[in-house]
Structure 1
Amino acid sequence: MIRLEDRLKEDISEYAQLLQDLRRVRALGLPQCYIGAGYIRNYIWDRLHGYKHRDSHTDIDVVYYDPEDVREERDVQIENVLRRETGNPLWSVKNQARMHLRNGTEPYQSTSDALRHWPEVVTAVGARLNEQDQLDICAPHGLEDLYGLIVRRSPFFADRSAYLRRVEGKNWHLQWPKLTIIRD
C-alpha cells in the first residue's frame, strides 16, 4: 500500500505549474519555506472528485520561518517579486515567526509548528523542493484528512466559532460535494 506522503509527492509531480512554482519559491532561499494550504488542498480535492485540473485557489500561500527578520514589509516585497515574475496576483507570503501575534497564540517554533495551529487539519499541508530536486512534505497532522476528504478543526485551533465561520464562508461543500465537514 502506498504511503499517503508518497501519494502526495506523486500527485504533485504530475502538476507542472505547481512544480514550476515550487522551483521559483526554492530560489528565494527562505528558511523552512513551503507552498501550502489551498494550492495543494484544492488540487488534491479536484483529483479526488475526478475534476479536470482547474485553478481553484484564491491565493498561493508561501510560508516560511525566520525569527531573525519578522518585518511584514519583507513579505510584501517577496510577494511583489513573485507577482512580477509570474504575472499572478494571488501570491501571499507570510513569515510564520510573527504570525502568532495575529493569531493570539504563543510564538511558533517552526513552520511545522505554525501549520499545526492553522484552523483546519486538511489545510495544514505544505510542499517544497529541496536542493536535490526532491519533494519534501510538511503535514503536522498527517494526510489522512486530505485524502479522506474530511474537513475538521485542528486540535490546536481553539476558536471553534472562527473555524465554523471560515468553513461556511469558503463554501467548499458546494465545489467539492464529497467532503465531510465536521462542525465539532
Structure 2
Amino acid sequence: MEYRNELIYILTKDELIIEILTIVKNLELNDCWVGAGFIRNKVWDTLHEKKTIKFNDIDVVFFDETNISEKLEKEIEQKLTEINSKIKWSVKNQARMHFRNNHLKYRNTENAISYWPETATAIAARLNLNDKIEILAPHGLNDLFNLIVRSTPNFDLIVFQKRINEKQWGKQWGNLKFYNNNS
C-alpha cells in the first residue's frame, strides 16, 4: 500500500499527468486507463531526480467487447488529438489485443496489461468519479520503485531482451537493475 500511495502522490504533483488523466476520464470509456511508459518514466525520473524529455506517446487502454474494431481506436485517437494535439496518443481496446498478441482472450484491462512486457511497465492509472487517482498494477509496484526491469510471467523472454537492448533505458536511468527472467 505504501508504494501505491507514493505513486499517487507522484502523479498528483504533475499538472500534465492530471490533465491527461482528466481528458481520458472524460471520454467515459469502459474500464479505461492510462499506462505503460507514462507511469514508469515518471517514477524512474522521480527516483533518479531528473526530468527526461516528454513522453513518446500516451497509452490509453480500455475494454469494450461490443466494438473491437481498430476504426474505433483511431476515432478515439483523433478525438484526443483534437483536444490536445501536442500529445501523441495511442489508444488500444484490450478486448481485441489478444488476437494481435496470440493469447487467450483477456477478461478485462487488468488481465490484458498483466501481459505487457515488463513488470514496471504493466501499470496504469485513472481518475475515478471523485477525481481520485486509482492504480492498476497486476504485478505490484515493487519492481517499479526498486528500479528493477524484468519481464512479466506471460511475456516472451527473447522479445523482452530485444526490447531492453533497443530501449537503452540504462543510459537514461543509470540505477536500473535488469533481470533476464522472472526470478
Shorter-chain TM-score range: over 0.9
Residue in structure 2 matched with residue 94 of structure 1 by the alignment:
92
Counterpart Cα distance in 2 of 1:55 and 1:99: 29
**Counterparts of 2:53 and 2:168, CA distance in 1:** 16
Residue of structure 1 in register with 2:9 after alignment: 10
TM-score (norm 1): 0.95
Q: Can you list the C-alpha shifts for 1:93-133, whole angstroms capped at 9, x where unaligned? A: 00000000110000100000001011111100000000111
Stretches of 4+ moved more than 2 A in 1? 53-57
Give the conservation status (yes or no) of the 8 Å contact 2:58–2:87: no
Where does the alignment leave 5 or more consecutive residues of structure 1 unmatched? none
How many aligned positions are there?
181
Where does residue 164 of structure 2 map in the other structure?
167
Give the C-alpha shift of residue 54 in structure 1. Answer: 3.6
User: Contact conserved, 1:43 with 1:56, CA < 8 A, in 2?
Assistant: no
- Structure 2 Cα separation of the partners of residues 107 and 4 of structure 1: 30
Work out the CA distance in 1 between the residues paired with 2:162 and 2:18.
32
SS at match of 2:120: helix
1:43-78 deviation line (CA, Å, top 9, x unaligned)? 110000011x34442110001111111111100111
CA shift, 1:181, in A, is 1.0
Q: Work out which of the residue numbers 64, 67, 70 in structure 2 matches 1:69.
A: 67
What amino acid sits opposite 1:120 in the alignment? E
**Aligned equivalents of 1:83 and 1:27: distance in 2?**
14
For the 8 Å contact 1:58–1:90, the answer to whether it is kept is yes
- The match for 1:137 is 135
What corresponds to 2:30 in structure 1?
31
In the alignment, is the contact (CA less than 8 A) between 1:126 and 1:138 conserved in 2?
Answer: yes
- Structure 1 residue 89 displacement after superposition: 4.5
Paired residue secondary structure (1:122): coil
Residue type at the aligned position of 1:24: I
Question: d(CA) in 1 for partners of 2:69 and 2:158?
Answer: 30
RMSD over aligned CA atoms reads 1.1
TM-score normalised per structure 2: 0.96
* Whole-angstrom CA distance in 2 between matches of 1:150 and 1:59: 22
Distance 1:12 1:117 in 2: 23
Counterpart in the other structure of 1:176 = 173
Identity among equivalent positions (%) equals 40
Q: Deviations over 1:134-160 (max 9, x none)?
A: 111000000001000000010121x11
